[in-house]
Amino acid sequence: MFDGRYRCITDPVSTRSSLWGAQLKSAHRPGRLAAVLLAAQLAGAGLTLAAAPAAHAAASDAVAKLPITSYSALAVDSAHQRVYVADSNMGSYYNYGVIAVYTFQGERITTISTQQHVSGLALSDDGSTLYAGEREKIMRYDTTTYQLIGGLYVSTDTCGRSLAFSGGKLYFTTPYTSSAAQCDATLTYLDSYLPDSNTAPRTGWQDYGKLQLEAGAGDRMLMGQPLNAQAADPFLAVYDASGQTLVRTAGRRFADADGKGALNLKDIAVSPDGGEVAVADASAGTRLLNTGDLSDAPVGYPALPSGATASAVAFSGDGKYLARGAAATGSTPDLLVQPADPNDSTAPLEFAFEGSLDGDRVAPRGLEWSADGSRLFAVTTNAAGNQFWLHVIQPPAVQYDVRFTDALTHSPAQAVAGEPLAVRGKLAYDGPAPAEPLKVAATRTDADGSHALGTATVKDDGTFTVLDEPGLVGDATYTVSFLGDLTHRPAEDVTTTVSVGKAPTSIALTAPAEGSLSTGVRITGTFTAQGKALPDRAVLKVTRTDRLGTGALSSVTVAADGTFTVDDLPRTRGDATYTVSWPGDDLHEGSTASATVYVKR
């Protein structure tokens, strides 16, 4: 169970059993997926969830602490259900490398040690061979025995390679510098490795910085250039790897004429059909591009949460989902899992990693999916970048229907401009009860346009209340939406139109029963206006009616506390009726009050 702050207050083992019905072996903890609109913290799991609408199918997240102190590459072998994580271990010629091997359940099977630091990883198309880039070699490992089956000496890498297998060939980068401080901007060559001939010819392509490679469908390969001192306007390029010669088919630099908007590349992903490219850009968020010419796609993805900087991106193998990794602090999400179709407004599942059990952010290039889209593998790191975790995430596969069951109602019955208004409704959902309350979003549309009203929590009985303060007189249409998440389908919107009237005003007078021609008459009063505060103090019209007729007196201005005073010297004896009035304005009704005083000599 959870207290009001959503902290785990029961035994961790029993909580896992009751919430999710089963436990994964090793480091498995309860599912912590949630579409984020409100933040909640599971202190027992060390993970902050922002939740609304909340996914309520059992979505599991197994976490393994990686036996590495640096990170260079992640590769997923769906044919054998294995995950490979490489420790770069740069800094010395004598450093050994480590490749940790895990199951799809997050259990470590073995660790492959290499004679020199190891950076890039890539798998052959059939998953039978793992390629690893060492300092001076490209090594090949059997993915069933994890034994070394061959390798080739290649040009020395002192900064870390990137590998990609495309068109039946392996491509790898070779950056070299005598000083590690120059790695980010050193000249890097793009080389190839031909397994059949065990040769490594140069492609002729090169540029500055730690160039990143990514293979895509249709024998495509992408190469991206990180921002560095030698590249103020980095490039992204697409290559055709089907022939003997690597041919560039598209290229783009992103800065405008003023030098703004340059690419700050952290990761690249190609959609399963090869038609689109998603780029994790630390400056621009997630760019979505057409693979053919690298132009911007007609519809892009929403911005990452405020405070999150893009670090990784990956399409699921089935093409349904996109995972976007980020570096963020506190409860700001570090990982979003959402529909790959940018036109689908379904709310994403969001993770906020924070703590010694989970890491603090998604590492650059730290996301990969299984081929069937059933699992997402995420490498997270701490703020210092010297500890790493492997998360095995299973997004819920089932979606349930959601619907609004009743028409919207509102109170009070007569809405008033500038006064609180409550709009109420009811939401019903299929499937099991959600772990966290669902949320609905509301908007008000009036003569001044559309206004977002935020979200409202759905109670256990399905009811919700949207609070608002309409600011204009006239019709206001309220629309309540449930956008769905990866567990719930969106509900059809429900609307109601409310007639908003002017706010009432009132004038109260206190007058003496008698006055005199010699001493005059003093009347005091109070002016009250409901709704939105008046822009200026009200000026009240005053008239006097006696046996000689009706005449206007000097107007009075209402004080800040709403009081005013009328002083008059009557002109004749007998009854004198004083009328005080205010005409109203665009948002307030007018009001009037009268008092009669008998005037003596």
Residue in 391, 267, 270, 365 with CA at minimum distance from that of residue 319: 270
Average pLDDT value for residue range 105-118: 94
- Share above pLDDT 90 across residues of the chain, in percent, rounded to a whole number: 76
19 compared with 456, residue with greater pLDDT = 456
Please tell me whether residues 307 and 330 are part of one structural domain.
Answer: yes
**Residue 352, pLDDT score:** 86
Would you place residue 486 in the very low, low, confident or very high pLDDT band (cuts 50, 70, 90)? low
Q: Among 338, 370, 397, where does a domain finish?
A: 397
Residue 183 per-residue DSSP state? G
Q: Which residues have a Cβ under 8 Å from the Cβ of 413 and sit 6 or more positions away? A: none
Question: Is residue 218 situated within a structural domain?
Answer: no
Average pLDDT value for residue range 527-535: 92
pTM of this prediction exceeds 0.75: no
User: pLDDT tens-digit profile of 60-86?
Assistant: 578 999 999 999 999 999 999 999 999
**Residue 601, pLDDT score:** 87
C-alpha 559/C-alpha 474 separation (Å) is 30
Question: Is residue 50 situated within a structural domain?
Answer: yes
Domain extent at residue 29: 1-65+264-397
**Residue 397, pLDDT score:** 64
Q: Are strands 591-600 and 514-516 parallel, antiparallel or unpaired?
A: parallel
Is it the case that residue 188 has pLDDT exceeding 80? yes
DSSP, residue by residue, 280-329: EETTTEEEEEETTT-PBPSS-PPPPPTT-EEEEEEE-TTSSEEEEEEE--
SS3 185: helix
On the question of a cis peptide bond just before residue 298, with omega within 30 degrees of 0, the verdict is no
User: pLDDT tens-digit profile of 544-554?
Assistant: 999 999 999 99
Dihedral of alpha carbons 403, 436, 106, 386, sign: positive
Q: Please report, for residues 70, 117, 246, 382, the alpha-carbon distance to residue 90 in angstroms, rounded to integers and kept in the order given.
A: 8, 6, 29, 18
Please tell me whether residues 489 and 438 are part of one structural domain.
Answer: yes
Question: Is residue 281 situated within a structural domain?
Answer: yes
Question: Is residue 125 situated within a structural domain?
Answer: no
Residue 450 has which token pair? 């559309």
Question: Is residue 320 situated within a structural domain?
Answer: yes
**Residue 437, pLDDT score:** 87
Looking at every residue in the chain, the average pLDDT score rounds to 87
Q: Look at the block and give the residue holding tokens 């090169």.
A: 206
**Residue 178, pLDDT score:** 85
C-alpha 138/C-alpha 561 separation (Å) is 83
Please tell me whether residues 268 and 360 are part of one structural domain.
Answer: yes
**Residue 347, pLDDT score:** 79
C-alpha 224/C-alpha 278 separation (Å) is 12
Answer whether 326's CB lies under 8 Å from 361's CB. Answer: yes
Average pLDDT value for residue range 577-587: 95
C-alpha 6/C-alpha 540 separation (Å) is 55
Please tell me whether residues 357 and 423 are part of one structural domain.
Answer: no
Please tell me whether residues 358 and 469 are part of one structural domain.
Answer: no
Question: Is residue 169 situated within a structural domain?
Answer: no
Please tell me whether residues 310 and 414 are part of one structural domain.
Answer: no
Please tell me whether residues 481 and 524 are part of one structural domain.
Answer: no
Please tell me whether residues 449 and 535 are part of one structural domain.
Answer: no
Residue in 235, 133, 226 with CA at minimum distance from that of residue 174: 133
Q: Look at the block and give the residue holding tokens 């009616």.
A: 545
C-alpha 236/C-alpha 212 separation (Å) is 10
The CATH number of whichever domain residue 536 belongs to comes to 2.60.40.2470
Is it the case that residue 22 has pLDDT exceeding 70? no
Residue 199 has which token pair? 């040769």
Is it the case that residue 368 has pLDDT exceeding 80? yes
Is it the case that residue 529 has pLDDT exceeding 50? yes
- Domains: count for the chain: 3
The long-range contacts involving 87-92, CB below 8 angstroms and separated by at least 24 positions, are: 87/118, 88/117, 88/118, 88/119, 88/160, 89/117, 89/118, 90/117, 90/119, 90/158, 90/159, 90/160, 90/180, 91/117, 91/180
User: pLDDT tens-digit profile of 440-484?
Assistant: 999 999 999 999 999 999 999 999 999 999 999 999 999 999 987
CA 585 centroid distance within chain: 43
Would you place residue 57 in the very low, low, confident or very high pLDDT band (cuts 50, 70, 90)? very low
What is the distance between the terminal CA atoms of the chain, rounded to a whole angstrom? 83
Please tell me whether residues 370 and 427 are part of one structural domain.
Answer: no
Question: Is residue 351 situated within a structural domain?
Answer: yes
**Residue 592, pLDDT score:** 98
395 compared with 278, residue with greater pLDDT = 278
Answer whether 251's CB lies under 8 Å from 266's CB. Answer: no
44 compared with 557, residue with greater pLDDT = 557
C-alpha 248/C-alpha 232 separation (Å) is 21
Question: Is residue 298 situated within a structural domain?
Answer: yes
Q: Which residues have a Cβ under 8 Å from the Cβ of 449 and sit 6 or more positions away? A: none
Q: Among 501, 530, 557, where does a domain finish?
A: 501
**Residue 398, pLDDT score:** 67
Count of other CB atoms within 10 angstroms of residue 502: 18
Q: Among 360, 381, 397, where does a domain finish?
A: 397
Phi first, then psi: what are they for 476, rounded to 5°?
Answer: -125, 120
User: pLDDT tens-digit profile of 343-354?
Assistant: 988 878 888 888
C-alpha 450/C-alpha 386 separation (Å) is 48
- Share above pLDDT 70 across residues of the chain, in percent, rounded to a whole number: 89
Is it the case that residue 138 has pLDDT exceeding 50? yes
Answer whether 540's CB lies under 8 Å from 555's CB. Answer: yes
Residue 440 has which token pair? 């609905």
The amino acid occupying position 533 is A
Would you place residue 50 in the very low, low, confident or very high pLDDT band (cuts 50, 70, 90)? very low
201 Ramachandran zone, left/alpha/beta (phi>0; psi -120 to 50): beta
Would you place residue 52 in the very low, low, confident or very high pLDDT band (cuts 50, 70, 90)? very low
Please tell me whether residues 579 and 513 are part of one structural domain.
Answer: yes
Please tell me whether residues 310 and 423 are part of one structural domain.
Answer: no
Would you place residue 95 in the very low, low, confident or very high pLDDT band (cuts 50, 70, 90)? confident
Would you place residue 14 in the very low, low, confident or very high pLDDT band (cuts 50, 70, 90)? very low
C-alpha 302/C-alpha 307 separation (Å) is 14
Average pLDDT value for residue range 16-26: 26
The CATH number of whichever domain residue 487 belongs to comes to 2.60.40.730
Average pLDDT value for residue range 26-40: 31
C-alpha 50/C-alpha 439 separation (Å) is 12
Q: Please report, for residues 63, 191, 210, 540, the alpha-carbon distance to residue 204 in angstroms, rounded to integers and kept in the order given.
A: 42, 8, 16, 86
180 compared with 418, residue with greater pLDDT = 418
Is it the case that residue 56 has pLDDT exceeding 90? no
User: pLDDT tens-digit profile of 379-428?
Assistant: 999 999 999 999 999 877 667 889 999 899 999 999 999 999 999 999 99
Radius of gyration of the chain (CA): 35
**Residue 346, pLDDT score:** 81
User: pLDDT tens-digit profile of 299-343?
Assistant: 999 999 999 999 999 999 989 999 999 999 888 889 999 999 999
Beta bridge pairs of residue 540: 556
Please tell me whether residues 530 and 411 are part of one structural domain.
Answer: no
C-alpha 253/C-alpha 273 separation (Å) is 24
